[in-house]
Amino acid sequence: MNKPLFMQIVDRLSNEVQYFREKKDGLRRNSLSPLQKCTASIRVLAYGSAADTVDEYLRLGETTTQLCVENFVDGIIYLFGDEYLRRPTPADIQRLLDVGEHRGFSGMIGSIDCTLNDINVLDRSHVFDDIIKGQAPNVTFSVNGREYHMAYYLTDGIYPKWTAFIQSIPLPQGPKAVLFAQRQEAVRKDVERAFGVLQARFAIAKNPTLFSDKVKIGKIIRACIILHNMIVEDERDGYTQYDISEFQQGEDTGTSHMDLTYSTNILINVTNMMGVRTRIRDRQMHQQLKDDLVKHVWLKFRRDEDNN
């Protein structure tokens, strides 16, 4: 991460977390500085190395380093968790929808994937809770002249054929299907790249764990995700930005209108929840949306294919 961001973290921890405040020992000598403790912690997270490898560089023993990591992780979650592990705001969703529109998938808010058994994880996931309870933003978009009212994710073939999921075409026949499969698979790699970047930044996420406690392991991963999101926000201005003017003005082949007001006025009862659940799992609507997207992607990108 950039040095100013790291120093901001050190400053917050030293001022607001007791463990990182500089103290004096019995001989009135200064104890370990907040910078030493934070540097030791971030090196262990970044390199996934053993706790005693920072001894020569930072003059910290193995036990002290492990204690630094535990307190650093707790401090990161306490100070920054609410902001950087929050649910997507309307502005966040709008940005995701804009990027999805630019890449040919109107109404798409990202990709979804799991590192374990996808179906078991999906069965226990809370990702659709807000939608089922009527507390999610209303997203309205148009594809191929047809209006839809539920955002969706791009997935691989193991996910069920729900309205909320759009898979690739396993054995595409014809140029339209081939182009759609290529575009869908290229966009869906974002979720795999994201996890790859997380592992590249914090090797502790892929190396053998230093702790045997499941709770501590969970906190380490949460802290790494928070730090990753902080880095992304800090560096976002330097990324290449999409020119979204073309679809902000609207296109005949696919327009997007996002009503990001929250539908919190819907009564939460069993009937409404079951109705929304049925909409999410509507296979017929899933196939209709997929067919419309195939046509939309073809109209949007076929000239690129012709040039190639």
Q: Give the pLDDT score at 269.
A: 64
SS3 55: helix
User: The tokens 């979204």 sit on which residue?
Assistant: 244
Contacts of 286 (CB under 8 A, 6+ apart): 161, 162, 163, 165, 166
Residue 275's region, left for phi above 0, alpha for psi from -120 to 50, else beta, is alpha
Q: What are phi and psi of 168, to 5 degrees?
A: -75, -175
Beta pairing, strands 165-166 & 140-143? unpaired
Residue with the bigger pLDDT between 256 and 166: it is 166
Q: What is the largest CA-CA distance in the chain?
A: 80
Partners of 83 in the β-ladder = none
Q: What are phi and psi of 147, to 5 degrees?
A: -95, 140
Contact 21, 12 (CB under 8 A): no
What confidence tens digit (pLDDT) does each residue in 234-250 have?
Answer: 987 766 555 544 444 44
pTM: 0.75
Q: CA-CA distance, 36 to 200, in Å (whole number)?
A: 23
Domain boundaries, the chain: 3-84, 90-202+252-307
- In percent, the amount of the chain with pLDDT more than 70 equals 83
What confidence tens digit (pLDDT) does each residue in 153-202 have?
Answer: 999 888 889 898 999 999 999 999 999 999 999 998 888 788 888 888 99
